[in-house]
Structure 1
């Protein structure tokens, strides 16, 4: 176990499980992760390996004997008949038969219905009435000649979710972890390996949890396929439900006026709409109008009566185009059906997760470390819905007066949700508060900026805040930094029906830190890049400053692991691209020798030396024997020094073994890490 895993087991004994066990026990069972982790939590919530192995076998046996596979439903029904009584794990839903004045259950996989359920059970577990609940149930079989009476009898029913927890213990244990450790613990609890994510990407994953801990939170995530957008809402919590966007209706979602039956928003903490995007989808305009009112006012009408509800709304869908294409030709909501591509509806969204920043899920991204049993974390998040942390930044920061009430609500709810997840015990530092506040502002700004493109009645807003020094600190979105030339546009439709895109007046075309706006004349400057920013390459960042140099010295202690050596090879490629064919350039590397793979490191350098010599680059290297070098910089003999706080290690992990991905072939398609670079004129020139 890692030191973090050991710490997790020490402070949350019996409440955590090794996350790779879910895959081990799942087999071909089509069942949510929280059901499997409920069972694992009963038998494998320990770090003792023999106990874990015994527990795995127990859980596998329980699933083999009691989980109902659809293709084996006949055999299970036969077992119940022959034995008289049998325990099953299945998804159960209940309906009221008003002709007979009884409640009747339907077992999804088992394929039986009209099973009598007593009123007390329904009152205790009302979610049985809407969408169904995974349960462990004891069924009995008693045949009768009366055809109106079902032979199936439900003797006991227990929903698969935690029955109780100690919130105070949770808060006390949280105090034993640093912020970074706690973030990694929550990321592992979701099922991901935190080492494969940067800080910004981890926060993005945490935003997906906010609908479970914040009442009436409206979230949208649009992005490429395969990034796990809907996974959390179907697998994570027994308090959330995922429905297909095409299966939504007013009676199902809100209320059936003829029967008076309240829909999903009355029973679930989070209602997520899968496959929400799609221009060709048909949408009921009446549904959109009711959703607008509910998302703004937390209420809906049933005839003359107005009802309130607390369900958060999540919309996830796939995009078909790249971000620059959408910004140039339309907006970041352009994939939505026409009735949802409505400024009044979209203005209710509190946060827009940029799904294009989220990596496509690969096997190596899943965690094998310890995390909370998910139904335990789900109960914690649910209990946090009773708290409000939205004012936790007001001792340090003030939002700009330019920010409207609706914008402010979105920012406050996102900030409150992140604070609940990360700092339930309080005690966040000023810098930590500021980081979450900026992230919350960015997510709401992404919504508002697109509304300004779609609807001319929305006016420019200064999304900024002030600290104790009174200085305004503006917030930008990452795509604004990457594509300033097409980000600040308005979309207008002319009389001929042709959509035109025009630059907004009085809006700067991107900050000076953007490469797209870099001056053609070389000058001293300092650039800051955000995590997940794309469009960056050694050619555009460093190439102009290397052109004309005959000697280049690069000092970087971390050219040791294979991916770091590959980065250096790409740096040499940039040198080659920017030198004249009839000139030669000397490149000298000062680094440190790898303690375990020094011979492999030397072999790589030797191969690069031989290859470089054939294209006019004289490559040499030396290992610093003192072990004290920490600087990362590039110095040229024609008067430039480039200091880089990460050296050449600018890019996040990408699939280097896949020759058919553009991130492998072209640096500008790789998300980068957060870093800073300074270009200094030294005056030394040959």
Structure 2
């Protein structure tokens, strides 16, 4: 192996992002309705304004892949914001400008109310800080959302002072809500056909604002499920998870048709109907009503609100006295968890954090899908995209236009749901499936394996809800979640946490008491005293169980996997180990290899030596700097391994494709992904996942263990 200097080399950095093939394709097929996503942060500055407002402006002036056009557009948008956006701390200056000029255009959030005494509509401007501005009834008729929650608008404000102190001097001229007025849906469908499914998913993830390269397939689908309430009527979604994972971002920033409110601010009149004046609440005007900070066991809740919400979520209707009204708003509930998944499964359930009034099986049974928020990474700066995505008001209008469509039966020519799934369970599966179909395959064209993927995802989300309800309500009937294909083969569906923590997930089947394993500080389950068999002091220790031989599969985002359990037991006692993996090139791949060597060093006899040979491929991408870095990593591994009595050598072979580990003790391990099984790790020393593999999420992969006794040394 070639020895190289350990001095690092950094290539010069171009400040402009390099367009990918996907970016070029996006601009070619969707001209004028896509924007480079990093531009939002570039122009936002200290303006406290939703992303869809900024992207609306960028879509008008910077929806291009030409750098000169983009820069000119950025300058224009900046000027518009400087001249017309109202900062709260500059409201008096803006009011003075309106007075001196007589008329001035502003960008602000406008909310209207009906003054019953005067029988007039009056507007309030959030940032400008003025209220009582007269609004023509025709404006309210054209834009009814002004009455519920308010709308970001571009407005002309006039000033006319009167000697009558009761007359407000501010006059509302023209008003234009910031949202797209029309679009070509057939053109959207035609362009979709030009993308592969992987490309389309990446385009949608970039449209949300994230870099798809840092997300696995399952993680991308989780992000896209957050969009279903915008494309599916009366969809009930819950997401509980750790802080900082972007649970509420989409509902506040992504669409002008969604309203995000604090869970503690919800009242029956605000949400449904005010019986005093007959005014319909938020559900009558918004496509999505999302409740932020919904979790919190000690939060006070209105029992009447819970009851009317349960009826609305089940029947899409609510009562105003003797009159029953209907609405189409989807309901989203997002909140933070304060415990780990195994803790919740062991001591309570995955709805543990909800207020007591909502920790009710009748309410929870109305939920169509439960997003496992603990699988979503904490949002970090490098996760944001600098690629191209849809201008959000464009994709928001596309999704809204499809709310009346129903794709829930598109799986039926290929698959059949389990016969014991209840109507409410199947409704949840159907609505999630329909939503994902409309988002991913709006043209209705998908291969059976693509349909199966989102059907399984839809079933899993509803199963997560139902399995937790079964923990609370013993009267509920257990359900076998799964489906059959056209050949009659049965395909069961499990949740990821069910596979990760089967003992706690299926706790009703395990009669255990708690003991403490002092060597690890973990609480573990042992048989109860009624069944426990005491081992006599003189008894021989039990023989080690034979190592598993065969195939094992791991799901994307699964935790609890480490080389110490996956590979090291099979390498114990080996004197020669050959690792074949063509992708030991980048830093994280070299780190994985070093961590495997650490595991081998920990279990070997200090007096023994182990010879490890790596067969890999040279990194010939780029200008040679990548190969130089690869060689540096391998040299450092060689030097580091010597301290543990491990001799490490490398052979390069550009023709290899398969990944495997072969030992001189007769084991051959076939690795589908090689050693590169873990998802992105921050490297932060205060992050457990940096040091301990079992806290990392994995990519989807499989591993096969083959035992060949004839290869063992004699």
For 1:671, the equivalent position in structure 2 comes to 697
For 2:219, the equivalent position in structure 1 comes to 201
Asked whether the 8 Å contact 1:454–1:490 carries over to 2, the reply is no
Asked whether the 8 Å contact 2:238–2:369 carries over to 1, the reply is yes
For 2:632, the equivalent position in structure 1 comes to 603
Compute the TM-score of the two structures, normalised by the length of structure 1: 0.95
Alignment of structure 1 residues 337-376 onto 2, 5 Å: 337-376=355-394
Q: Distance in 2 between matches of 1:598 and 1:126?
A: 61
For 1:442, the equivalent position in structure 2 comes to 460
3-state SS of 1:531 partner: coil
For 2:207, the equivalent position in structure 1 comes to 189
Q: Distance in 2 between matches of 1:475 and 1:225?
A: 28
Asked whether the 8 Å contact 2:568–2:596 carries over to 1, the reply is no
Asked whether the 8 Å contact 2:406–2:434 carries over to 1, the reply is yes
For 2:81, the equivalent position in structure 1 comes to 63
The CA deviation at 1:490 is 4.6
The CA deviation at 1:579 is 1.3
The unaligned stretches of length 5 or more in structure 2 are 1-18, 511-523, 527-543
For 2:648, the equivalent position in structure 1 comes to 619
The CA deviation at 1:550 is 1.2
The CA deviation at 1:48 is 1.0
3-state SS of 1:61 partner: helix
For 1:146, the equivalent position in structure 2 comes to 164
Instruction: Specify whether residues 502 and 592 from structure 1 end up closer, same or farther in structure 2 by C-alpha distance, changes over 3 A only.
Output: closer
For 1:633, the equivalent position in structure 2 comes to 660
Alignment of structure 1 residues 30-179 onto 2, 5 Å: 30-179=48-197
Q: Distance in 2 between matches of 1:272 and 1:491?
A: 37
3-state SS of 2:357 partner: coil
Q: How many residues align?
A: 660
Q: Distance in 2 between matches of 1:614 and 1:318?
A: 45
1:268 equivalenced with 2:286 (yes/no) = yes
The CA deviation at 1:454 is 1.1
Alignment of structure 1 residues 230-249 onto 2, 5 Å: 230-249=248-267
Aligned partner of 1:488 among 506, 509, 512: 506
The CA deviation at 1:659 is 1.3
Aligned partner of 2:606 among 581, 593, 599: 581
Asked whether the 8 Å contact 1:453–1:489 carries over to 2, the reply is no
For 1:523, the equivalent position in structure 2 comes to 548
1:593 equivalenced with 2:618 (yes/no) = yes
Greater CA drift, 142-151 or 110-119? 142-151
Greater CA drift, 140-149 or 284-293? 140-149
Aligned partner of 1:429 among 442, 447, 450: 447
Asked whether the 8 Å contact 1:452–1:460 carries over to 2, the reply is yes
1:660 equivalenced with 2:703 (yes/no) = no
Q: Distance in 2 between matches of 1:157 and 1:641?
A: 71
Q: Distance in 2 between matches of 1:521 and 1:370?
A: 53
The CA deviation at 1:600 is 3.0
Q: Distance in 2 between matches of 1:81 and 1:29?
A: 23
Q: Distance in 1 between matches of 2:55 and 2:421?
A: 43
3-state SS of 1:316 partner: strand
Runs of 4+ in 1 over 4 A off after TM superposition: none
Asked whether the 8 Å contact 1:546–1:578 carries over to 2, the reply is no
For 1:547, the equivalent position in structure 2 comes to 572
Q: Distance in 2 between matches of 1:523 and 1:113?
A: 73
For 1:509, the equivalent position in structure 2 comes to none
Q: Distance in 1 between matches of 2:32 and 2:665?
A: 63
Aligned partner of 1:651 among 662, 678, 689: 678
Asked whether the 8 Å contact 2:420–2:480 carries over to 1, the reply is yes
Asked whether the 8 Å contact 1:453–1:491 carries over to 2, the reply is no
Q: Distance in 2 between matches of 1:414 and 1:80?
A: 49
Instruction: Give CA-to-partner distance per residue, 1:458-499, whole Å, 9 cap, x none.
Output: 12100010001101100000000100010013599xxxxxxx
Q: Distance in 2 between matches of 1:14 and 1:31?
A: 22
3-state SS of 1:339 partner: helix
For 1:506, the equivalent position in structure 2 comes to none
Instruction: Give CA-to-partner distance per residue, 1:103-138, whole Å, 9 cap, x none.
Output: 110001101111111111100100000000000000
Q: Distance in 2 between matches of 1:86 and 1:345?
A: 49
Q: Distance in 1 between matches of 2:213 and 2:635?
A: 31
Q: Distance in 2 between matches of 1:387 and 1:477?
A: 29
Alignment of structure 1 residues 551-566 onto 2, 5 Å: 551-566=576-591
The CA deviation at 1:523 is 3.0
The CA deviation at 1:428 is 0.2
The CA deviation at 1:560 is 1.1
3-state SS of 2:462 partner: helix
Q: Distance in 2 between matches of 1:554 and 1:545?
A: 13
Greater CA drift, 366-375 or 596-605? 596-605
Compute the TM-score of the two structures, normalised by the length of structure 2: 0.91
The CA deviation at 1:543 is 1.5
The CA deviation at 1:521 is 1.7
Q: Distance in 1 between matches of 2:550 and 2:301?
A: 51
1:408 equivalenced with 2:407 (yes/no) = no
For 1:327, the equivalent position in structure 2 comes to 345
Instruction: Give CA-to-partner distance per residue, 1:397-418, whole Å, 9 cap, x none.
Output: 0000010000000000000000
Q: Distance in 1 between matches of 2:133 and 2:639?
A: 78
Q: Distance in 1 between matches of 2:636 and 2:147?
A: 68
Asked whether the 8 Å contact 1:550–1:584 carries over to 2, the reply is yes
For 1:278, the equivalent position in structure 2 comes to 296
For 2:531, the equivalent position in structure 1 comes to none
Asked whether the 8 Å contact 1:491–1:502 carries over to 2, the reply is no
Q: Distance in 1 between matches of 2:421 and 2:616?
A: 49
1:568 equivalenced with 2:593 (yes/no) = yes
Greater CA drift, 372-381 or 540-549? 540-549
The CA deviation at 1:502 is 11
3-state SS of 2:358 partner: coil
Q: Distance in 1 between matches of 2:484 and 2:664?
A: 44
The CA deviation at 1:377 is 0.3
3-state SS of 2:402 partner: helix
3-state SS of 1:186 partner: helix
Q: What is the root-mean-square deviation in Å for CA atoms of aligned residues?
A: 1.4
For 1:682, the equivalent position in structure 2 comes to 708
The CA deviation at 1:622 is 1.1
